[in-house]
Amino acid sequence: MPAGHTPPTEFATRLPVAEARAHVLALCAERRLASESVALDQALGRVLAADILAAHDQPPFANSAMDGYALRGAELPREGERRFRIAGQMLAGAAVEIAFGRGECVRITTGAPLPRDADTVVIKENVRLDGDAIIVGAGERAGANVRPAGEDIRAGARALRAGDMLTPARLGVLAACGQARAHVARRPRVALFVTGDELVPPDQPLGYGQIHDSNRYGLAGMLRTLGIEPEPVARLRDDPEALRVALLEAARRCDLVISSGGVSAGEADYLPGLVAELGRVHFWKVRMKPGMPILCGSIESALVFALPGNPVSSLATFELFVRPALLALQGANEADPPPRKARLAAPHVKRHERAEYLRARLEWRDDGACWATPLEQQGSGMLRGMAGADALVALGEDVRELGAGAVVDILPLPGLC
Bridge partner residues of 35 (DSSP): 185
Residue 30 has pLDDT above 60, yes or no: yes
Looking up residue 384, the CATH number of its domain turns out to be 2.40.340.10
Residues near 362 by beta carbon (within 8 Å), at least 6 away in sequence: 342, 370, 371, 372, 373, 390, 391, 410, 412
Question: In one letter, which amino acid is 19?
Answer: E
Q: Which of 4-8, 221-225, 344-348 has the lowest mean pLDDT?
A: 4-8
The reply to whether 237 and 289 lie within a common domain is yes
Residue 381 has pLDDT above 70, yes or no: no
The reply to whether 72 and 43 lie within a common domain is no
Ramachandran region of residue 292, left (φ > 0), alpha (ψ -120 to 50) or beta? alpha
How many CB atoms are closer than 10 A to CB 41? 8
Task: With respect to residue 401, please indicate whether it lies within any of the assigned structural domains.
Answer: yes
The reply to whether 197 and 322 lie within a common domain is yes
8 A C-beta contact, residue 195 and residue 260: yes
Looking up residue 325, the CATH number of its domain turns out to be 3.40.980.10
Give the C-alpha separation, 175 to 166, whole Å: 12
Question: Where among 303, 329, 355 does a domain terminate?
Answer: 329
Residue 2 has pLDDT above 80, yes or no: no
Give the C-alpha separation, 251 to 299, whole Å: 6
Ramachandran region of residue 208, left (φ > 0), alpha (ψ -120 to 50) or beta? beta
Bridge partner residues of 408 (DSSP): 342
What sign for the dihedral angle of Cα 322, 327, 330, 332?
negative
Task: With respect to residue 275, please indicate whether it lies within any of the assigned structural domains.
Answer: yes
The reply to whether 45 and 166 lie within a common domain is yes
Residue 226 has pLDDT above 90, yes or no: yes
Q: Specify the pairing of strand 401-402 against strand 407-412.
A: unpaired
Give the C-alpha separation, 30 to 298, whole Å: 12
Phi, psi of 145 (to 5 degrees): 60, 35
Task: With respect to residue 386, please indicate whether it lies within any of the assigned structural domains.
Answer: yes
Question: Where among 329, 348, 379 does a domain terminate?
Answer: 329
pTM of the entire predicted model: 0.89
Number of domains in the chain: 4
The reply to whether 181 and 42 lie within a common domain is yes
Over pLDDT 90: what percentage of the chain?
Answer: 85
The reply to whether 292 and 321 lie within a common domain is yes
The reply to whether 393 and 323 lie within a common domain is no
Task: With respect to residue 1, please indicate whether it lies within any of the assigned structural domains.
Answer: no
Q: Specify the pairing of strand 190-195 against strand 256-260.
A: parallel
Question: Where among 329, 354, 383 does a domain terminate?
Answer: 329
The reply to whether 230 and 252 lie within a common domain is yes
Write down the pLDDT at residue 376: 84
The reply to whether 223 and 138 lie within a common domain is no
Looking up residue 166, the CATH number of its domain turns out to be 3.90.105.10
The reply to whether 49 and 21 lie within a common domain is no
Q: Which stretches of 28-91 are assigned E, i.e. beta strand?
A: 35-39, 52-53, 63-64, 68-71, 81-90
How many CB atoms are closer than 10 A to CB 317? 30
Task: With respect to residue 314, please indicate whether it lies within any of the assigned structural domains.
Answer: yes
Looking up residue 108, the CATH number of its domain turns out to be 2.170.190.11
The reply to whether 221 and 300 lie within a common domain is yes
The reply to whether 181 and 192 lie within a common domain is no
Q: Mean pLDDT throughout 151-179?
A: 97
Give the C-alpha separation, 63 to 121, whole Å: 9
Residue 7 has pLDDT above 60, yes or no: no
Task: With respect to residue 290, please indicate whether it lies within any of the assigned structural domains.
Answer: yes
Give the C-alpha separation, 405 to 393, whole Å: 13
Q: Which domain holds residue 128?
A: 63-147
